[in-house]
């Protein structure tokens, strides 16, 4: 029966499914276009990244102090703009490593602070900082591009469209009331919800995986590094891969909650126009709240939100 329902959905709502796929693709294309058009790009150039990756290969396995001597020598001998660009990025990330190492050293032994920006809870939360792994220098461009691309995730919008075509229209036409008096009404309703939920989850998973592919975030050489290696603020005690999985789970749960919330709207309002107005208002309100009340960002399931800011809030 589930197979038949999925077939029916794809046959009857093929246009809506195509529109959802196009919406997802266009949002990614828009983000990629805006990043390429920035007058000042925070990312390495292609030539600079090649030089940077060479620096990472040459310094593999070195301690922080050894890396300092290594990059100091490289900065002095850099004879091209690309080598200077790569050495500057390496040095900047290395300073971040020293900053975090200073926190952990202080938490463990009461000394080691080398930076003026000291966390407010360093003394009261020593156990957390003492347990942090020492970060390392990684190519964080792929991760930062992923964060930017995920911030363009419009899953609440296409979930609204999908539920509107699947449920709101049926409720407005009275199809749901006709099905309710049928003998197998409860199994029918359950299967329809399960199939809709499966499709929404599948679309989000494929969208997230495509973001990873577009940004090159599947690189295995940095996924096991500590989250602090990315250069983002926040006190998450996990690896880079752990933070990516956290973002995926939050996004997937948000899609599921959106789906059921919009289903409730569709059933209660029995009008496509009222449904679009109510669900659209919810998306706009939560997206605005994510900007002005950022500490609520992780819990605003229907918001289009900054994922870097959300990771920071989760680490508070």
Residue 250 has pLDDT above 90, yes or no: yes
Segment 111-128 shows an average pLDDT of 70
The 3-class SS string of the chain reads CHHHHHHHHHHHCHHHHHHHHHHHHHHHHHHHHHHHCCCCCCCCCHHHHHHHHHHHHHCCCCCHHHHHHHHHHHHHHCCCHHHHHHHHHHHHHHHHHHHHHHHHHHHHHCCCCCCCCCCCCCCCCHHHHHHCCCCCCCCCHHHHHHHHHHCCCCHHHHHHHHHHHHHHHHHHHCHHHHHHCCCCHHHHHHHHHHHHHHHHHHHHHHHHHHHHHHHCCCCCCCCCCEHHHHCCCCCCCCEHHHHHHHHHHHHHHHHHHHHHHHHHHHHHHCCHHHHHHHHHHHHHHHHHHHHHCHHHHHHCCCCCCCHHHHHHHHCC
The confidence band for 104, taking pLDDT boundaries of 50, 70 and 90, is confident
Residue 148 has pLDDT above 70, yes or no: yes
Q: Considering only 7-11, 76-80, 128-132, 224-228, which range has the smallest mean pLDDT?
A: 7-11
The confidence band for 230, taking pLDDT boundaries of 50, 70 and 90, is confident
Percent of the chain with pLDDT over 70: 86
Residue 181 has pLDDT above 70, yes or no: no
Q: Is the CA virtual torsion 292, 297, 299, 302 positive or negative?
A: positive
Q: So what's the pLDDT on residue 136?
A: 87
Per-residue b or e along 16-51, where b marks 16 or more CB atoms closer than 10 Å to that residue's CB: bbeebeeebeebbeebbeebeeeeeeebbeeebbeb
The confidence band for 132, taking pLDDT boundaries of 50, 70 and 90, is confident
Q: How many CB atoms lie within 10 A of CB 242?
A: 15
Residue 254 has pLDDT above 90, yes or no: yes
Segment 107-124 shows an average pLDDT of 69
Give which of 241, 20, 223, 247 is closest to 139, Cα–Cα: 223
Per-residue b or e along 108-134, where b marks 16 or more CB atoms closer than 10 Å to that residue's CB: eeeeeeeeeeeeeeeeeebebbeebee
Segment 91-107 shows an average pLDDT of 85
In this prediction the pTM is 0.86
- 284 class by beta-carbon count within 10 Å (0-12 exposed, 13-18 middle, 19+ buried): middle
The whole-angstrom separation of Cα 87 and Cα 65 is 16
- Report the mean per-residue pLDDT for the chain: 84
Question: For residues 122 and 213, is the Cβ–Cβ distance under 8 A?
Answer: no
The whole-angstrom separation of Cα 13 and Cα 78 is 59
Q: So what's the pLDDT on residue 262?
A: 94
Question: For residues 194 and 2, is the Cβ–Cβ distance under 8 A?
Answer: yes
Q: Which residues on neighbouring strands pair with residue 239, listed in sequence order?
A: 226
């Amino acid at each position: 029966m589930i197979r038949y329902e999925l077939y029916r959905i794809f046959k009857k709502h093929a246009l809506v499914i195509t529109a959802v796929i196009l919406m997802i693709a266009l949002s990614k294309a828009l983000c990629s276009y805006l990043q390429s058009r920035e007058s000042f790009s925070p990312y390495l150039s292609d030539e600079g990244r090649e030089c940077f990756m060479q620096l990472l290969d040459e310094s593999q396995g070195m301690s922080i102090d050894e890396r300092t001597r290594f990059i100091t020598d490289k900065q002095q001998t850099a004879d091209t703009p690309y080598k200077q660009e790569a050495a500057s990025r390496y040095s900047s990330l290395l300073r971040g490593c020293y900053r975090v190492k200073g926190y952990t050293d202080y938490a463990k032994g009461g000394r080691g602070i080398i930076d003026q920006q000291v966390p407010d809870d360093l003394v009261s939360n020593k156990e957390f900082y003492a347990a942090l792994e020492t970060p390392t220098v990684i190519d964080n461009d792929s991760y930062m591009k992923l964060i930017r691309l995920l911030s363009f995730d419009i899953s609440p919008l296409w979930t609204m469209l999908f539920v509107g075509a699947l449920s709101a229209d049926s409720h407005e036409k009275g199809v749901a009331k006709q099905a309710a008096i049928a003998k197998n009404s409860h199994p029918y309703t359950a299967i329809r919800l399960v199939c809709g939920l499966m499709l929404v989850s599948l679309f989000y998973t494929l969208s997230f995986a495509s973001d990873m592919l577009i940004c090159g975030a599947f690189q295995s050489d940095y996924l096991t590094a500590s989250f602090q290696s990315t250069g983002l603020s926040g006190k998450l005690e996990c690896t880079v891969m752990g933070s990516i999985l956290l973002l995926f789970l939050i996004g997937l749960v948000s899609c599921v909650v959106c789906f059921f919330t919009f289903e409730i709207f569709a059933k209660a309002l029995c009008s496509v126009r009222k449904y679009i107005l109510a669900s659209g208002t919810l998306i706009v309100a939560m997206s605005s709240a994510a900007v002005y009340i950022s500490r609520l960002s992780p819990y605003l399931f229907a918001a289009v939100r900054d994922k870097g800011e959300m990771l920071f809030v989760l680490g508070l």
